[in-house]
Structure 1
Amino acid sequence: MKSPNRIMNGWQLVCFSCVSAPLAMVGFAVVSFVPTFYAIDMGLGLAVVGAVFMFGRFFDVFTDPLIGALSDRTGGRRGPRVPWMLLSFPGVLLFAWLLLSPPDDIGPVYLFCVVSGYLLCVTAFDVPYSSIGLEISPHVHERSVLAGAKAVFQILGALIASVVPVVIGAQMGVSLGTLALIFVAAMPVAMAAFLMWTPKYTPKVVHTHPSLWGAWHNCLRQNAFRRLMIAFFAVQAANAMTVGLLVLFVTHVLQAQALVGQMFLMLLLATAFFVPVWIFLSKKIGKRRTWMSAILICSVVLVTSYSVGPGDALIMQAICMGLGACMTCDAVMPTSMLADIVARDETDSGHPRAASYLALKNAASKMAFVAPMGVAFPLLGLAGFDKTGANDPETFGVLFFFFAGLPCLLRVAVAAYLWRKLEDQIVVAPAT
């Protein structure tokens, strides 16, 4: 964007977005490595770990909207929403360390407490932080740029999480412990840069606020927001199943456990490369059509995974690159579209609601995480999935279905829904 048309210069954009990198590093590990690590390496079992993470995500469904609504009402000398970030920051550091670097003899209670604490503190930090990105710019395209810049740093954090196991070449427990050290060193630096150089902005002063329920109701009654969330939830559920089962897929279908880190690296490199491609395309054909294109392309890639067998590393690398290229659009476009909805609603109502909208979006995203943890993992366990590799074709069929079959069906349904239900020009009903 040309300088007169933007809120942040390049350095400010970096300082705002850099907080996403360490957060995404841990978040990626929690989605991709931690469940399998606790289930298999720590011996807790797939069903137990799936139940713990499923409960944690259900807990998030309630805490996200609550923290979002409270954040919309909070101010501070360093800017709106920053007090929540400062308050939750120590807990983020502590529980991320405990989750990634557990003692040897732990049980389900330890995992339950640490996962709950981590999710609560990350919610209290990330909802206010990400809300700033939604409301700081009045320009439609800069909202895509902000979402894209944040996505780039999220990809950087995820790349670190995927590269560390490859570089270290040790057991997953050692790799996760290394990630914990990197996180506690990098997060304070990123937070300091954010506080010093992110532009301050002054939201509208509102002397009266609706009740908490009223704030959520005003968000949910917007047709554009509801339709966006339906599509976003389905796509996130598809992505959660595919990414959450990638370790098992590479280990047991490709039969190449040593290539797990490499496959994640391929996925994330493609994700980073395609961020500017999707942003450019959205400016040309619109955000909705851009997202639909990525959804349909990813469906084709998922179907291709049914051709993977033992030793087909090149095919699997191509699949991971295709998945990464499309999944970055799943992150950037819905966030940018949500920023448009927030801007229109706040203009009409005069109330700051960015955090409430974002918290409801996050709740949908975290509910989607239940798909691999609460559905795929337990059903694989019931199907008799054997971590030693002695599985029959029917068991592998279950794995293929949750890794590719069901995600593909969800994506095709979302593409049809977007074509019929979601407009390019966001129209928001007057708020009460």
Structure 2
Amino acid sequence: MAQGTRVLSGWQLICYGVLTTPLAMAGFALVIYVPTFYAADMGLGLGAVGAVFLFGRLLDVATDPLIGHFSDQTKSRFGPRLPWMVLGLPGLAVAIWCLLSPPEGIGILYLLVVSTAFFLFYTIVDVPYSSIGLEISPDVHERSYLASSKAVFQVIGAILASLIPVLLASQMGVSLTTIAQVAIGLGLLGILSYLIFVPRTHRVVSQPRPSLWNGWRTALENREFLWLVGVFFIVQAANSLCAGLLVLFTAHVIQAPELIGMFFLAMFGSTALCLPVWVFLSRWKSKPFAWLVSIVLCCCGLGLATTLGTGDIVGMYFVSIAMGAAFGSDAIMPTSMLADIVYKGEEAGDQRKAATLLAFKNAVSKMTFVVPMGMAFPVLELVGFDKTGANSQGHLTVLVFFFAVLPILLRVLGGVLLLNIQRRGPSLHPSGHA
């Protein structure tokens, strides 16, 4: 297929993205609801539950590159990705059910086993599935559409997972069971949609398969990939601080804890609605340009956040909208740029390594989720910040620094590095006329 050839219709793009919704639902529930549910409702304690999920996250970071390598090296008549998805989905469904609908009287060992299975099967399904979006299309802009399709269905999954407890207005255990049922059902719908409607195109690789270490080494020697992942890590670290501290900022600076859900909804809605804007800008100028615009927008929103105080509801909505819009660009632009790197390598005859590169990118993303816990929370505790009571202006200043000021500085640094990518040549930022 020649560069610029579109391979998917609009309907096929939708069918490709559907499987993202159940994955997003399960991931959202895991981060937002599950730790508190097991610690408080199931009586396992915050310390023990935190240790289990920290272990699971570290294991998750380690298994991503492993699954990526093995998926790249898989040979079957169905291609390298589909066997992993089909075989991994039943295991993921069982893990979701066991994690979100546990029996009474379980202990910490149950959570350790079930959460480990969840992380493992999630990776087995997600890495090969997401890799398809990197390699299925030779068209530089269709790669952005593929990333956008996943981003839209990711937002849908997060909204569903956030609305179910509100609509049911029942105990968290009942809500989590419902989330599990919906996610498992949508998982079946997603894989069927993919199997029936999405074309399966893959390059036949004739070169000898590299060893695990050589596969990783060649991936990490790719300078373009390292530049991209460096920017992605810095921006995601900023995003993790904003997302991880939004609840505290709303409750203590804005003093409107009852509106936290509405601010999250504004953020999710802005993410989905602004996706076409980023795709348009990437076609008009370049993908780094679209990403840079979103970085500037988010910095402006966070700059506004530094001026807010008690009762500034409208201002907080603007901050949420700016953050949500930028999150969308942060999701699709680096993924689409990674697809360009993959396509360039395959055109040059390289070994298949889409899943390996994506897995390293995923591992970097997952490592950034510990930034709030490893940086902001200890400092807030050190200065005596009270998460449940009143705080002095000094305490609030520290919170604002980690919620807004430090993320601005990180995004500025990421933007400077992105400008360097912009100057390096056309390989990472094909123009709208490529």
Tell me the residue number matched to 2:426.
425
Tell me the residue number matched to 1:185.
185
CA distance in 2, matches of 1:44, 1:377: 22
Tell me the residue number matched to 1:85.
85
Alignment of 1:38-77 (within 5 A): 49-77=49-77
Secondary structure of the residue that 1:307 maps to in structure 2? coil
CA distance in 1, matches of 2:75, 2:213: 20
Tell me the residue number matched to 1:140.
140
Secondary structure of the residue that 1:308 maps to in structure 2? coil
Compute the TM-score of the two structures, normalised by the length of structure 2: 0.89
The alpha-carbon distance between structure 1 residues 48 and 419, as it changes in their structure 2 partners (threshold 3 A), is: farther
Q: Note the alpha carbon deviations across 1:349-408, whole angstroms, 9 max, x for none.
A: 341111111111111111111212443344444554444324444443443333222222
Do the aligned partners of 1:298 and 1:326 also contact (CA within 8 Å) in 2?
A: yes
CA distance in 2, matches of 1:288, 1:95: 38
Tell me the residue number matched to 2:231.
231
Secondary structure of the residue that 2:132 maps to in structure 1? helix
Q: Note the alpha carbon deviations across 1:47-74, whole angstroms, 9 max, x for none.
A: 6555443332222222111110000111
Number of residues of Structure 1 aligned to a counterpart in Structure 2: 425
CA distance in 2, matches of 1:172, 1:405: 35
Q: 1:203 Cα shift?
A: 1.4
Tell me the residue number matched to 1:333.
333
Tell me the residue number matched to 2:202.
202
Q: Note the alpha carbon deviations across 1:219-251, whole angstroms, 9 max, x for none.
A: 111111000000001111111221122233333
Is 1:297 matched up with 2:297? yes
Tell me the residue number matched to 2:94.
94
Alignment of 1:315-326 (within 5 A): 315-326=315-326
Q: Note the alpha carbon deviations across 1:27-61, whole angstroms, 9 max, x for none.
A: 23333444455566666666655544333222222
CA distance in 1, matches of 2:275, 2:60: 28
Greater CA drift, 310-319 or 163-172: 163-172
Compute the TM-score of the two structures, normalised by the length of structure 1: 0.90
CA distance in 1, matches of 2:380, 2:44: 15
The alpha-carbon distance between structure 1 residues 162 and 142, as it changes in their structure 2 partners (threshold 3 A), is: same
Matching residue's letter, 1:425: P
The alpha-carbon distance between structure 1 residues 80 and 195, as it changes in their structure 2 partners (threshold 3 A), is: same
Q: 1:173 Cα shift?
A: 4.8
CA distance in 2, matches of 1:220, 1:197: 35
Do the aligned partners of 1:287 and 1:424 also contact (CA within 8 Å) in 2?
A: no
CA distance in 1, matches of 2:125, 2:137: 21
Is 1:243 matched up with 2:248? no
Greater CA drift, 25-34 or 100-109: 100-109
Q: Which runs of 5+ in 1 are unaligned?
A: none
CA distance in 1, matches of 2:194, 2:78: 11
Do the aligned partners of 1:15 and 1:198 also contact (CA within 8 Å) in 2?
A: yes
Do the aligned partners of 2:308 and 2:316 also contact (CA within 8 Å) in 1?
A: yes
Do the aligned partners of 2:136 and 2:201 also contact (CA within 8 Å) in 1?
A: yes
Matching residue's letter, 2:79: G
Percent of matched pairs sharing the same residue: 50
Tell me the residue number matched to 2:21.
21
Q: Note the alpha carbon deviations across 1:262-285, whole angstroms, 9 max, x for none.
A: 111110100010011100110111
CA distance in 2, matches of 1:254, 1:81: 47
